[in-house]
Amino acid sequence: MTTRYTRDHEWIRLDGDTATIGITDYAQEQLGDIVFVELPEVGQALEKGGEFCVVESVKAASEVFAPVAGEVTAVNAALADQPGTVNEAPEGEGWLIRIRPSDKAEIEGLMDAAAYAAFLETI
């Protein structure tokens, strides 16, 4: 399972026909203490680049955008009671949603870890 990244600081990891999506460590650091996560409905169709989630922190609310198009197959319901999990493990237990990508090849077009690290150097 290779993790890919977007310029909007989302990550996506493909496992078979399902991809897990969340925000990066950099994104959660910028937000600060996360107090609420508004997740989409299972079955919702996502457009590449379209907003699918809002993450609220003590500092700000931030939209999260879909790295690829697809259908939501699962949401991390545990975040309703423990939104801080996104701060503690943004690329692990703090995942946001799982989707069935419309086109898996879209994932390959995103940045790998080295490219994302280089991108962060430019910010």
pLDDT per position as a tens digit, 90-110: 999 999 999 999 999 999 999
- Asked if the structure places residue 93 within a domain, the reply is yes
Indicate whether 19 belongs to any domain.
yes
Inside any domain, residue 27 = yes
The predicted-structure confidence for 26-85, as pLDDT tens digits, reads as follows 999 999 999 999 999 999 999 999 999 999 999 999 999 999 999 999 999 999 999 999
Kindly report the pTM of this predicted structure: 0.97
**Structural domain that includes position 56:** 3-117
Q: What does the pLDDT read at residue 1?
A: 74
The candidate with the shortest Cα–Cα distance to 10, out of 83, 100, 119, is 119
Note every long-range contact of 74-77, with CB atoms under 8 Å and residues 24 or more positions apart, other chains counting. Answer: 74/42, 74/98, 75/39, 75/40, 75/41, 75/42, 76/37, 76/39, 77/39
Indicate whether 122 belongs to any domain. no
CATH code for position 57? 2.40.50.100
b (16+ CB within 10 A) / e for 72-93: bbebbeebeeebbbbbeebbee
